[in-house]
Chains A and B, each alone.
Chain A
Amino acid sequence: MKDWSLKWMFICLLCFLPLAMYLHLISGQIEISFSSYFDSILNFDSKNTSQVLVREFRIPRLFMAIMAGAGLSLSGMFMQTLFKNPLAGPYVLGINSGASLLIALSLMTGVQFFQSNFGLIGTALIGAFAAGLLMMLIAQRLKSQITLLLVGLMFGSFTSAIVSILESFAGAESLKSYTMWSMGSLQQVEFGQLGIILLIFTSGIVASFLLVKPLNMLVIGEKSAALLGLPIKSIRMFVLLLTALFAGLITAFCGPIAFVGIAIPNLTRILFQTTNHRYLIIGNMLIGAIFLLLTDAFIQVLEGHLSIPLNALTSIIGAPFVVFLLIRKLR
């Protein structure tokens, strides 16, 4: 794609992002004046209900929508480039399942270590990374792209079976908290937690941009990239760590959110028509954030009447899109 049309695309997306943020903020059930939004951050009054509402619910939810959308899309993009497979993603390759399994273990077996804030992030990260590592080891023995996806799905079924067994043993309280978590929600984060999540997220983004050149080289395959002097083993680990960081972080705080990680990177590639990761990283972040903001805004609008789990809605939109990709790519 020509450089100028890429630039136009970015400008459009950049204009659309604040609009999506605005829509997300006003889609809540209670109408809140603009001044409350600013006051809740700049000069917070804990006795003012609407300010509390903004600070404790709307702002965290807004940021989580942006970070979850951008982060999951990025981790999907990493997987797709690393495995040279447009149908890879944190969900299909079992990265989410790994995180879910460890979170289920920590929520339902009541091991103390896992129950702090950092414990939760750490748990999800370890689960996500271990699952990624396992997939990588298996991928090296496989030739077919489809086989790897099937292995990922098998891994997903396997972990969800273990989770079911855990559920049957779990007490009512921990079962409830796991079930709530597994539905996926952007409303589980408090204002005070935002700082640390933002910090981890931003460092992930910075690290992503450092990987632009290796990722661009990986497009033509690991072997060719290695012959161009790329230290393939360490790059592979770095990419996997970053994937696990994003997928694990988001999964820990928002629960599993399906299909964003597989659908958005493909959408971005189709829209931008490039393999240059400098553009793909920015594009994935913008499109992912906008997509999740709008999806979650829709959920908020309906919230008075019915509550749709986020995970269900992203699946309803994402699954047909992935089928479309399958038909288009593999036939």
Chain B
Amino acid sequence: MIRITRLSIGYSKELLSADNLVLAAGKVYALVGRNGIGKSTFIQTISGIQKQLAGEIAIMEKSIHGLSPMEIAETIALVDTRFEGVEYLQVKDYLALGRAPFTDAFGRMDSKDWRIVEEVALDLGIQHLLEKNTDQISDGERQLCSVGRAFVQETPVILLDEPTAFLDYINRKKLLELLVRLAREKNKCILLSTHDLDLCLDQKVPFMLAAHGTLSIHNTLSKEAIIESMS
């Protein structure tokens, strides 16, 4: 799904490099590494916001820097920074914004678009929130809504920058289980940056390890090995 070749990322100075990495469809990858190592920069780079210093990122065999903003919106969904909620913006309209790349110039939603919103809400267990305003639900519910909007976008790739940072333990666990299930069911490639090593180990997700200036993928890795290679 995502192929990375001789990649170098950072702002003017290299933060991380990676070569010959492949992220497959149907899987969740946990991007782990210490603060400031460049996890966010990596996510920004894959999503096309930040330009890489060198090398190539290809999604479904197409270089992302050859894609137009519209094509990127159809290929990659990004859940980044904390969504604070907007006064009077209902959850269903927030989710519906995920259809924006596919609706007409006036943003009109047809019945198929609304069906996608309802299905995603059902999958995420947030159907009871649809009529609520996004500023009047809990942090955990809002985080689920952000993830929901990414799913509504129906892109093959979903990137999440620390989606569990503001959640309690139960919600973290639920979210990760959900991502693993949806990645498998809908054959999506999901990459999330996180510090929740234990949860990721429980779910047996492959790790993408950012340490000592390089990125590497490990399908099985013990907690001790991760901590050792990070420090």
- A-side residues, CB < 8 A to B, are 1, 86, 210, 212-213, 216-217, 219-220, 223, 226-231, 269, 272-276, 278
- B-side residues, CB < 8 A to A, are 47, 49, 69-70, 72-74, 76-78, 80-81, 83, 86-89, 93-94, 97-98, 100-101, 103, 105-107, 153
In the assembled complex, the Cα of A141 lies from the Cα of B49 at a distance in Å of 18
Establish whether residues B97 and A212, one from each chain, have CB atoms under 8 Å apart when the complex forms.
Answer: no
Which secondary structure characterizes the binding site on chain B? Answer: loop
Establish whether residues B153 and A228, one from each chain, have CB atoms under 8 Å apart when the complex forms.
Answer: yes
Could you say which of A223, A229, A230, A272 contacts B74, with CB atoms under 8 Å apart? A229
Establish whether residues A216 and B97, one from each chain, have CB atoms under 8 Å apart when the complex forms.
Answer: yes
In the assembled complex, the Cα of A51 lies from the Cα of B4 at a distance in Å of 78
In the assembled complex, the Cα of A226 lies from the Cα of B73 at a distance in Å of 8
22 CB contacts below 8 A, A to B, read A86-B87, A213-B103, A213-B107, A217-B100, A217-B107, A220-B86, A220-B94, A223-B49, A226-B49, A226-B69, A227-B47, A228-B73, A228-B98, A228-B153, A229-B74, A229-B100, A230-B100, A272-B88, A274-B88, A275-B86, A275-B93, A278-B106
The smallest C-beta distance from A215 to any residue of chain B, in angstroms, reads 9
| Residues of chain A within 8 A of B83, CB atoms compared | 220
Chain B, Cβ-Cβ closest to A213: B107
| Residues of chain A within 8 A of B49, CB atoms compared | 223, 226-227
Top-5 shortest CB links A-B: A229-B73, A213-B107, A229-B70, A228-B100, A229-B101
In the assembled complex, the Cα of A68 lies from the Cα of B154 at a distance in Å of 44
Establish whether residues B69 and A210, one from each chain, have CB atoms under 8 Å apart when the complex forms.
Answer: no
Which of B74, B80, B93 has its CB near the most chain A CB atoms (within 10 A)?
B93
| Residues of chain A within 8 A of B107, CB atoms compared | 212-213, 216-217
Could you say which of A1, A213, A229 contacts B69, with CB atoms under 8 Å apart? A229
Chain A, Cβ-Cβ closest to B68: A229
The smallest C-beta distance from A237 to any residue of chain B, in angstroms, reads 16
Chain B, Cβ-Cβ closest to A210: B105
Chain A, Cβ-Cβ closest to B86: A219
In the assembled complex, the Cα of A213 lies from the Cα of B70 at a distance in Å of 15
Establish whether residues A227 and B97, one from each chain, have CB atoms under 8 Å apart when the complex forms.
Answer: no
CB-CB under 8 A for A217 and B97, given A212-B107, A229-B73, A229-B74: yes
In the assembled complex, the Cα of A301 lies from the Cα of B201 at a distance in Å of 76
Could you say which of A212, A223, A269, A278 contacts B88, with CB atoms under 8 Å apart? A269
| Residues of chain B within 8 A of A219, CB atoms compared | 86, 89
| Residues of chain B within 8 A of A227, CB atoms compared | 47, 49, 72-73, 76-78
Establish whether residues B100 and A276, one from each chain, have CB atoms under 8 Å apart when the complex forms.
Answer: no
| Residues of chain A within 8 A of B77, CB atoms compared | 227
The smallest C-beta distance from A207 to any residue of chain B, in angstroms, reads 13
In the assembled complex, the Cα of A1 lies from the Cα of B73 at a distance in Å of 29
Which of A229, A230, A269 has its CB near the most chain B CB atoms (within 10 A)?
A229
In the assembled complex, the Cα of A228 lies from the Cα of B74 at a distance in Å of 8
The smallest C-beta distance from B133 to any residue of chain A, in angstroms, reads 8
Chain B, Cβ-Cβ closest to A217: B100
| Residues of chain A within 8 A of B106, CB atoms compared | 212-213, 278
In the assembled complex, the Cα of A1 lies from the Cα of B89 at a distance in Å of 10
| Residues of chain B within 8 A of A228, CB atoms compared | 73, 97-98, 100-101, 153
In the assembled complex, the Cα of A62 lies from the Cα of B97 at a distance in Å of 39
In the assembled complex, the Cα of A212 lies from the Cα of B86 at a distance in Å of 17
Chain A, Cβ-Cβ closest to B48: A227
In the assembled complex, the Cα of A223 lies from the Cα of B89 at a distance in Å of 17
The smallest C-beta distance from A214 to any residue of chain B, in angstroms, reads 9
In the assembled complex, the Cα of A86 lies from the Cα of B87 at a distance in Å of 10
| Residues of chain A within 8 A of B76, CB atoms compared | 227
